[in-house]
Amino acid sequence: MRIDLSRSMAEPVDADPGTLRTLRHVIRSQGTVRPRTEADLVAEVDGRILWIAPEFAPGGFFEAGAPLVRLDPRDYELAVERAQANLRRARSEREFAASELERQEGLSIGGVASVSQLADARRAATVAEAAWMEARAALEQAERDLARTELRAPFAGRIRDERVDVGQFVNRGETLAQLYATDYAEIRLPIPDEELAFLDVRIATPGEPLDLVDSPVKLMARFAGQHAEWTGRLVRTEGEIDERSRMVHAVARVEDPYRRNADTPSVPLAVGLFVRAEIQGAEVRDVIVVPRYAIRDEEQILVVDAEDRLHSRAAEIVRIDRDEVVIQGPLAPGERICVSPVQIVVEGMAVRAVEDPGAAPARSGGAS
């Protein structure tokens, strides 16, 4: 029996079979939840507060168009009555002036009325028409001021801060509360510009933001002592690169963040919460995932051929993601990737390959 001493004495190495995979990149980021709209509730007329809604308190939710504050309307109701009376008087004067003008025009045709009488009738009709238009506008203004004694928000939202109470007199332009919308929330996510290559993006026309192809986003945080997750989508990128961080900011949107329309109770995505984000990126095919320590000199890998000999080869690196590296495949038949930290490498040296399925990571930024 003949023993191959050179092979039995060869250095054992762990070998990754270099299985081809189809992966979907995951881009990681983090950010703070912000409302899509913030606004001040401002008094548009002067008056004393007679009533506030039960939800008119910090943290209170309200529906779109629901009354939040009512001011004393009596002065404005009287103003509407005066405006209505003025409009009726102006309408009567307008009708009389129009009738008188028509009569004077008839007399003028018959040669009975003088030129000055016709001119006076025309002037009176014009003045009466203007007075009627002014009275109509005054009535509309009075009705608008009366309607403004009841303050509403044009969106469904939540009270951030309230500054008034029943019985307090407020002036036009005074801020009564701070509100924000709750129909959806947005999270500003910084992304290194080189990471954009791994997103599903289309280059837009000059002057327009990148088209992010509605990329899905998973958001994660600890809330009330428990791990919570939410799903959203990228909707846009901001128009500038941050000068200090050199990051591009993408904006993720989450519908119904407070789960007010959800069928089952769930953790709300509260404004101000700090979250981690995983953005689903572009799909890549026929790649191999190896641990980062398998890469030598930044772009070299060690390959074990079919005869268990070691070779150094330049790798086409697709992406480095934390402790994993995605390289473009495939390998030649019989080849495997050495994932052991070999200290001294001689081209063509004999090794004893030990295939370890656990040596190949199960993912790189998320497998599809």
Interatomic CA distance for residues 271 and 257, integer angstroms: 9
Place 364 in a pLDDT band, splitting at 50, 70 and 90.
very low
Who has greater pLDDT, 63 or 345? 63
Instruction: Give pLDDT, residue 361.
Output: 43
For domain 27-38+183-283, say whether CATH 2.40.30.170 is its number.
yes
Q: Give CA separation, 114 vs 60, 63, 104, in Å.
A: 73, 66, 9
Place 357 in a pLDDT band, splitting at 50, 70 and 90.
low
Its CATH class, for the domain covering 5-22+284-359, is mainly beta
pLDDT tens figures, 26-43: 999 999 999 989 999 999
Q: Say what the pTM is.
A: 0.72
| CATH topology match: 5-22+284-359 vs 27-38+183-283 | no
Residue 112 burial by CB count (10 A; 0-12/13-18/19+): exposed, middle or buried?
Answer: exposed
Place 2 in a pLDDT band, splitting at 50, 70 and 90.
very low
Residue of 272, 234, 292 whose CA lies nearest to 29: 234
pLDDT at 365 over 70: no
For domain 41-71+150-182, say whether CATH 2.40.50.100 is its number.
yes
* Residue 338, both tokens: 């050495």
Sequence spans of domains, the chain: 5-22+284-359, 27-38+183-283, 41-71+150-182, 73-148
Interatomic CA distance for residues 292 and 326, integer angstroms: 9
Place 113 in a pLDDT band, splitting at 50, 70 and 90.
low
For the structural domain made of 73-148, what CATH number should be given? 1.10.287
Specify whether the CB–CB gap between 90 and 117 falls below 8 A.
no
Range of lowest pLDDT (81-95, 113-127, 273-287): 113-127
Q: Give yes or no for a cis peptide into 330 (omega within 30° of 0).
A: yes
pLDDT tens figures, 293-335: 888 887 888 888 888 888 888 888 888 888 888 988 888 888 8
- DSSP per-residue codes, 272-325: T-EEEEEEEEEEEEEEEEEEGGG-BTTTEEEEE-TTSBEEEEE--EEEEETTEE
* Residue 103, both tokens: 């009569």
